[in-house]
């Protein structure tokens, strides 16, 4: 699951930064995670954080669990 999460996070952040057409789909998927009662709370938080990042708004990474927070931080550093 970690690799799938990493790929999703990277794809969402990169597509938004580069204003690629698939950014809209990533945003919709992040919205779905954030609003779904069927996924664990940590994935709901990931969806909320990704939406903010993709919109260029400040995102509070402290709401993410350690592994997810580390993934997001690494990808954001790498892509900045």
The ranges assigned to domains in the chain are: 2-79
Report the alpha-carbon distance of residue 5 to residue 3 in Å, rounded.
Answer: 5
Prediction pTM value: 0.92
Report the alpha-carbon distance of residue 73 to residue 39 in Å, rounded.
Answer: 22
**Residue 80 — pLDDT band, cuts 50, 70, 90?**
low
Report the alpha-carbon distance of residue 9 to residue 21 in Å, rounded.
Answer: 16
pLDDT tens track for 18-77:
999 999 999 999 999 999 999 999 999 999 999 999 999 999 999 999 999 999 999 998
Tokens 């930064």 -> residue: 17
Report the alpha-carbon distance of residue 35 to residue 44 in Å, rounded.
Answer: 7
Closest CA to 29 of 64, 63, 15: 15
């Amino acid at each position: 699951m970690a690799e799938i999460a990493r790929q999703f996070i990277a794809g969402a952040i990169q597509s938004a930064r580069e204003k690629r057409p698939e950014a809209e789909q990533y945003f919709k998927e992040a919205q779905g995670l954030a609003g779904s009662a069927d996924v664990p709370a940590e994935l709901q938080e990931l969806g909320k954080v990704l939406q903010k990042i993709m919109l260029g708004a400040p995102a509070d990474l402290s709401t993410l669990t350690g592994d997810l927070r580390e993934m997001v931080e690494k990808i954001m550093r790498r892509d900045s």
